[in-house]
Amino acid sequence: MNTFMKLLIAEMGQDQTKQQIEKGLRLYQCNKTDKALQVWAKVLEKTSDPGGKFRVLGCLITAHSEMGKYKEMLKYALAQIDTAREMEDPDYLTEGYLNLARSNEKLCDFQKTISYCKTCLNMQGTTVSLQLNGQVCLSMGNAFLGLSIFQKALESYEKALRYAHNNDDKMLECRVCCSLGNFYIQLKDYEKALFFPCKAAELVNDYGKGWSLKYRAMSQYHMAVAYRKLERLPDAMECCEVLLRFPQSEGCLPMESMKIALQHGDRPLQALCLLNFADIHRCRNDIEKAFPRYESSMCIMTEIGNRLGQASVYLGVGKGWLQQKELDKALESLQRVQDLAEGVGNKLFSLKVHCLSERIYRSQKREDELREQVVKFLQCVEELELYCGMCGESIGEKNQQLQALPCSHIFHLKCLQSSGPRDCAKCRRASLKPGFV
Ligand SMILES: [Zn+2]
Ligand SMILES: [Zn+2]
């Protein structure tokens, strides 16, 4: 059970409603999710106490989020806002908007996520805002990352981390570390991409006895991705052994997080694990094993409405066809990635599509198409500002160590080290004095 739900309970006023919500939570903890949902639905139907109604909606939101039923999650979040408005309570309203932001984040509606997060941050001075601000910043960071706005994503994650430290909120810190792992995977600093989920796993080990298993599985999953990128499978398994104390066999690393995911009906994580599994097989040139796993992953991604997840699957499939020299099929998959990326507003996927399409058209000597892809590729690089402000070379093209300044602009670590302390080359803010005008 997460602290969020514990808070819900602590604040319950009306006994009857409270008892029923608690009954649902007990069922939920024993993995009797369907029964828990029935109990909560009944409370929602019967209770006349707006506080109780708000709380039971909170339970329904968390449960549906964990199951990957994001459209239902959004529906309950909207109902929560209505209830909060009725009560004219800014604390409830802030919490409602956070849930609305999160629902939209899960549905890859990132512009909406950012705007609801801003609404939350603007309602400062409410009692709960200090506890929730960190979560708001995390959600905002995830949304910026979804839009490939890297500097703002990093800025939000850093704020979220600061709130986590100030409130001694280890669970939030763990979640931010996982997001930072994803951030550095995208920018291809694989050392940091591994460091952060390892840190998250450490937090789970040190503080997570009473936490949902989801946190362990999440850190495990992000470590698995980083190890795959680093092509360090034996290390991955050794680390797994220490963390999970399960007997190991080859290829079981993503299996373990998948087992946990399966146990708890965590469809979103299950889909990601299947995808990582498929990618590992593809990296080993075992396309026969990769494709069915891509397919299973795609089924779940589609079902839950994770469009970025779908784009990742199609990208993997495209690369698989490319390995098989099936260029037309590869192009077809890449087109789907491009459609999804445009729909969501994710520039990094577009960039990858143009880069791969360029390679294909070049080999086919299709000059017109090739030229178009080159132009689009360069546009993406420009828009994403994926270059180091010091040496002018690209960032995120290959595995390289990166470092951010206090303004959250990102450079090659080696360029910062060789130049010593100076103003940020991108925004001209002094790297040592954040308040410099
Ligand atoms: Zn550089
Ligand atoms: Zn800067």
Angle at Cα 173 formed by Cα 199 and Cα 67, nearest 5°? 100
Q: For ligand 2, a single-atom ion, which residues have Cβ within 5 Å?
A: 407, 409, 424, 426-427
Say which CATH number the domain at 234 has: 1.25.40
Half-sphere exposure at residue 343, Cβ-oriented, CA atoms within 13 angstroms: 15
In this prediction, residue 1 carries a pLDDT of 57
Mean pLDDT of the chain: 87
Bridge partners of 302, per DSSP, are none
Predicted pLDDT of residue 258: 56
Domain boundary among 201, 234, 262: 262
Q: Which of the four pLDDT bands, split at 50, 70 and 90, describes residue 436?
A: very low
**Å from CA of 113 to ligand 2 middle:** 25
- Of the candidates 338, 324, 276, 329, the one whose C-alpha atom is nearest the C-alpha of residue 301 is 276
CATH of the domain at 344: 1.25.40.10
Residue 11: inside a domain: no
Q: Is 239's pLDDT higher than 70?
A: no
Would the pLDDT of 428 be above 80?
no
Q: In this structure, is residue 22 part of a structural domain?
A: no
| Nearest ligand, CA 427 | 2
Residues 272 and 361 in one domain: yes
On the question of pLDDT at 249 being above 60, the answer is no
State the CB neighbour count (10 A cutoff) for residue 231.
11
Ligand nearest to the CA of 405: 2
Nearest alpha carbon to residue 79 among 59, 54, 49: 54
Residue 244: pLDDT over 50: no
Q: How far is the CA of 151 from the centre of ligand 2 (A)?
A: 9
4-41 per-position pLDDT tens digit: 666 666 555 467 788 889 999 888 877 788 899 999 99
Distance 400 CA to ligand 1 centre (A): 10
Distance 120 CA to ligand 2 centre (A): 26
Whether residues 374 and 328 fall in one domain: yes
pLDDT of residue 431: 53
The pLDDT tens digits of the residues spanning 104-159 come to 999 999 999 999 999 999 886 667 777 899 999 999 999 999 999 999 999 999 99
Same domain, 327 and 402: no
Residues ≥6 apart with Cβ < 8 Å to 232 = none
Task: Check residues 10 and 225 and name the one with the higher pLDDT.
Answer: 225
Q: What is the pLDDT of residue 405?
A: 87
CA end-to-end span of the chain: 46
**Interval 290-304 mean pLDDT:** 94
In this prediction, residue 346 carries a pLDDT of 97
Q: How far is the CA of 46 from the centre of ligand 1 (A)?
A: 62
pLDDT of residue 17: 84
The rounded Å distance from CA 409 to ligand 2 centre is 5
The token duo for 61 is 């939101």
- Considering the domain boundaries, does residue 109 fall inside one? no
Shared-domain flag, residues 279 and 322: yes
Q: Based on the domain organization, do 280 and 337 belong to the same domain?
A: yes
Quick check: 321 and 330 in contact, CB under 8 A? yes
Residue 245's Cβ-count burial label (10 Å; 0-12, 13-18, 19+) is exposed
Residues 342, 244 share a domain: no
Do 258 and 352 sit in the same domain of this protein?
no
**Beta-carbon contacts of residue 324 (< 8 Å; ≥ 6 apart):** 287
CATH number at residue 412: 3.30.40
Q: 140 lies in a domain?
A: no
The bound ligand whose nearest atom lies closest to the alpha carbon of 155 is 2
Contacts 24+ apart (CB under 8 A), 275-283: 275/301, 275/309, 275/312, 275/313, 275/316, 276/221, 276/224, 276/225, 276/228, 278/313, 278/316, 279/228, 279/316, 280/228, 280/233, 280/251, 280/254, 282/316, 282/319, 282/320, 282/323, 283/228, 283/231
Is pLDDT at 406 greater than 90 in this prediction?
A: no
Q: In this structure, are 246 and 280 located in the same domain?
A: no
Q: What pLDDT score was predicted for residue 250?
A: 35
Predicted confidence at residue 14, as pLDDT, reads: 64
The per-residue pLDDT for 315 is: 98
Q: How many domains does the chain have?
A: 3
Q: How far is the CA of 36 from the centre of ligand 1 (A)?
A: 54
Buried b (16+ CB within 10 A) or exposed e, 366-403: eeeebeebbebbeebbeebebbbbbeeeebbeeebebe
Ligand 2 center to residue 418 CA distance, Å? 17
> Both 270 and 377 in a single domain?
yes
Tell me the residue length of the chain. Answer: 437
pLDDT, position 212:
77
Provide mean pLDDT across the span 285-302: 93
If you measure from the C-alpha of residue 201 to the centroid of ligand 1, how many angstroms do you get, rounded to a whole number? 31
Residues 373 and 280 in one domain: yes
Percent with pLDDT over 70 in the chain: 86
Whether residue 323 lies inside any domain: the answer is yes
Instruction: Supply the DSSP symbol for 391.
Output: T
Output the CA–CA distances (angstroms, integers) from residue 153 to 78, 265, 308, 346, 404, in the order listed: 26, 29, 16, 13, 12
Residue 285 structural domain: 266-386
Starting from the CA of residue 389, give the closest ligand. Answer: 1
Residue 379 alpha carbon to ligand 1 centre in Å: 20
Q: Which ligand is nearest to the CA of 424?
A: 2
Q: 200-213: per-residue pLDDT in tens?
A: 999 999 998 888 77
When mean pLDDT is compared across 102-116, 265-279, 331-345, the lowest value belongs to 265-279
Do residue 294 and residue 371 come from a single domain? Answer: yes
Give the residue from 386, 409, 424 where a domain finishes.
386
* Residue 43 belongs to some domain of the structure: no
Residues 222 and 278 in one domain: no
Task: Please give the distance, rounded to the nearest whole angstrom, from the Cα atom of residue 404 to the centre of ligand 1.
Answer: 12
User: Minimal CA–CA distance to 55: which of 89, 83, 23?
Assistant: 83
Domain assignment present for 379: yes
- Residue 432 per-residue DSSP state: S
pTM beyond 0.85, yes or no: yes
Residue 373 inside a domain? The answer is yes
Confidence band, pLDDT 50/70/90 cuts, at residue 253:
very low
* Integer angstrom CA distances of residue 385 from 150, 365, 382, 388, 394: 9, 29, 5, 8, 9
Q: Which pLDDT score, from 0 to 100, does residue 247 have?
A: 31
Backbone φ/ψ region at 380: left (φ over 0), alpha (ψ -120 to 50), beta: alpha
Question: 231, 262, 293 — which closes off a domain?
Answer: 262
Q: Given a cut of 70, is residue 219 above it in pLDDT?
A: yes
187 CA → ligand 1 middle, Å: 14
Q: What is the mean pLDDT of residues 185-193?
A: 96
